[in-house]
């Protein structure tokens, strides 16, 4: 194949694997296939599911919201958590500033509070204020997660549901190591997200340099691969019924087709990157035309909004607004 054909093949295959050119009806099956749904904002899980054809009935409790790879929030299938959590990369950031003993003591006290019926971060701030300095309280009960990220990485705590800010105790402690679960999970990644590079896989799972040789060894057999622009792309599994790239797609905020790869230019033109991925790291909901990001969309104050970066044919603009309005209709009163 020519470089142009390979580039198109990558997009077609990813669109197929990530259910952007086909449909899936079950939100739990979608999350399982994609190794969790990114949910820094919980509405993006709903958007992602609806875009891919999934029913969102009972979505708030269908998935478990917790911190997975790279310390990012995902909606995952509960029985997948022990294996997915085993892949967490690196130590929780709190361990850089506080001793293991201090983290352990605070974690034990948090669990004790939860066993006594205290589930909110705000209540715990008040309880712990009598024992620790303000800067410790701010770190441990930070809006970014603090001690709850640490407990979540151990499979002991998760959010009560997909929209809640409170926490529940869970029993999902990893019983395997990263080395145990990586071969199968890497296969699942290349099956859904491929063609992708080893750097993409390392980024997705938040794996450090220590895993480079392991990834190379695991990829040395059992995967199809090809080279493009000096990068080796791996994929596996059959792409039965792989269709063409749709002329028009809505994509969720933090959509996996954008955030799951180190090289994004195939789907996100460089001139639009700052419009889509803000300085804060937030990735906005987008509109793709023929597989490339061409604008933004959202539901604002209960109304669909679509804004293209460049003028599009009237039928494309009308169709995009209709798709956004359909999502507005399905999500009204459910977010």
Could you read off the pLDDT of 305-320 as tens digits, one per residue?
A: 999 999 999 999 999 9
Cβ distance 46 to 55 under 8 Å?
Answer: no
One DSSP character per residue, 89-138 reads -S--GGGGTS-HHHHHHHHHHHHHHHHTT---HHHHHHHHTTTS-HHHHH
Q: Note the pLDDT tens digit of each residue in 154-163.
A: 999 999 999 9
Q: How confident is residue 127, by pLDDT bands cut at 50, 70 and 90?
A: very high
Q: How confident is residue 266, by pLDDT bands cut at 50, 70 and 90?
A: confident
Cα-based distances in Å from 129 to 26, 38, 110, 132, 135: 44, 33, 13, 6, 10
pLDDT averaged over every residue in the chain: 93
The per-type count for the chain, helices as H runs and strands as E runs, is 15, 11
For residue 45, the model assigns a pLDDT of: 96
The arithmetic mean of pLDDT across residues 107-115, rounded, is 97
Lowest-confidence region among 36-50, 95-109, 310-324: 95-109
CA–CA distance, 146 with 81 (Å, rounded to integer): 20
For residue 208, the model assigns a pLDDT of: 81
Task: Inform me whether the pLDDT recorded for 92 exceeds 70.
Answer: no
Task: Inform me whether the pLDDT recorded for 175 exceeds 80.
Answer: yes
Q: How confident is residue 211, by pLDDT bands cut at 50, 70 and 90?
A: confident
For residue 91, the model assigns a pLDDT of: 56
The arithmetic mean of pLDDT across residues 230-252, rounded, is 91
Q: Which of 242, 237, 300, 293 is nearest to 268 (CA)?
A: 293
The token duo for 317 is 């603009």
Query: What are the residue boundaries of the structural domains of the chain, listed by start?
Result: 93-169
CA–CA distance, 190 with 139 (Å, rounded to integer): 37
Q: What is the dihedral of CA 42, 45, 50, 53, to 10 degrees?
A: -160
Q: Is the dihedral of CA 204, 208, 213, 218 positive or negative?
A: negative
Cβ distance 295 to 309 under 8 Å?
Answer: yes
User: Using alpha carbons only, what angle is made at residue 70 by residues 293 and 142, rounded to the nearest 5 degrees?
Assistant: 105
Q: Which of 257, 190, 180 is nearest to 219 (CA)?
A: 190
Cα-based distances in Å from 154 to 105, 173, 185: 15, 6, 19
Percent of the chain scoring above 90 in pLDDT? 83
CA–CA distance, 10 with 4 (Å, rounded to integer): 10
For residue 240, the model assigns a pLDDT of: 77
Q: How confident is residue 238, by pLDDT bands cut at 50, 70 and 90?
A: confident
For residue 221, the model assigns a pLDDT of: 77
What pTM, to 2 d.p., does this model score? Answer: 0.93
How large is the greatest C-alpha to C-alpha distance in the chain, in angstroms?
67
The arithmetic mean of pLDDT across residues 193-200, rounded, is 96
CA–CA distance, 102 with 261 (Å, rounded to integer): 36
CA–CA distance, 204 with 140 (Å, rounded to integer): 26
Task: Inform me whether the pLDDT recorded for 73 exceeds 90.
Answer: yes
CB-CB neighbours of 216 under 10 Å: 11
For residue 88, the model assigns a pLDDT of: 74
CA–CA distance, 106 with 302 (Å, rounded to integer): 42
CB-CB neighbours of 213 under 10 Å: 9
The arithmetic mean of pLDDT across residues 9-38, rounded, is 96
Task: Inform me whether the pLDDT recorded for 174 exceeds 90.
Answer: yes
For residue 173, the model assigns a pLDDT of: 95
For residue 302, the model assigns a pLDDT of: 92
Question: Which residues touch 122 (CB under 8 Å, ≥6 apart)?
Answer: none
């Amino acid at each position: 194949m020519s470089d142009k054909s390979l580039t198109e093949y990558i997009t077609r295959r990813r669109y197929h694997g990530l259910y952007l050119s086909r449909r899936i009806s079950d939100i739990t099956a979608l999350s399982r296939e994609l190794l969790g749904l990114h949910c820094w904002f919980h509405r993006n899980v709903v958007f992602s599911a609806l875009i891919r054809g999934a029913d969102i009935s009972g979505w708030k409790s269908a998935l478990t919201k917790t911190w997975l790879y790279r310390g990012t929030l995902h909606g995952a299938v509960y029985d997948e958590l022990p294996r997915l959590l085993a892949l967490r990369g690196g130590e929780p950031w709190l361990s850089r500033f506080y001793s293991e003993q201090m983290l352990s003591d605070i974690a034990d006290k948090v669990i004790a509070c939860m066993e006594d019926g205290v589930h909110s971060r705000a209540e715990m701030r008040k309880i712990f204020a009598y024992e620790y300095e303000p800067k410790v309280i701010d770190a441990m009960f930070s809006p970014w997660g603090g001690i709850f990220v640490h407990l979540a990485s151990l499979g002991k705590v998760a959010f009560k549901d997909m929209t809640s800010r409170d926490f529940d105790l869970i029993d999902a402690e990893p019983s395997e190591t990263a080395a145990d679960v990586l071969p199968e999970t890497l296969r699942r990644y290349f099956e859904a997200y491929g063609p992708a590079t080893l750097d993409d896989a390392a980024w997705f799972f938040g794996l450090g340099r220590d895993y480079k040789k392991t990834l190379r060894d695991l990829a040395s057999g059992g995967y199809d691969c090809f080279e493009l622009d000096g990068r080796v792309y791996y994929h596996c599994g059959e792409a039965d019924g792989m269709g063409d790239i749709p002329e028009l797609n809505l994509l969720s905020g933090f959509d996996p087709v954008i955030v799951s790869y180190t090289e994004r230019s195939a789907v996100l033109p460089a001139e639009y990157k700052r419009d889509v991925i803000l300085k804060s790291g937030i990735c906005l909901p987008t509109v793709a035309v023929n597989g490339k990001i061409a604008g933004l969309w959202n539901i604002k104050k209960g109304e669909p909004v679509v804004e293209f970066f460049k003028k599009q044919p009237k039928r494309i603009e009308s169709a995009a607004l209709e798709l956004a309005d359909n999502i507005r209709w399905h999500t009204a009163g459910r977010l």
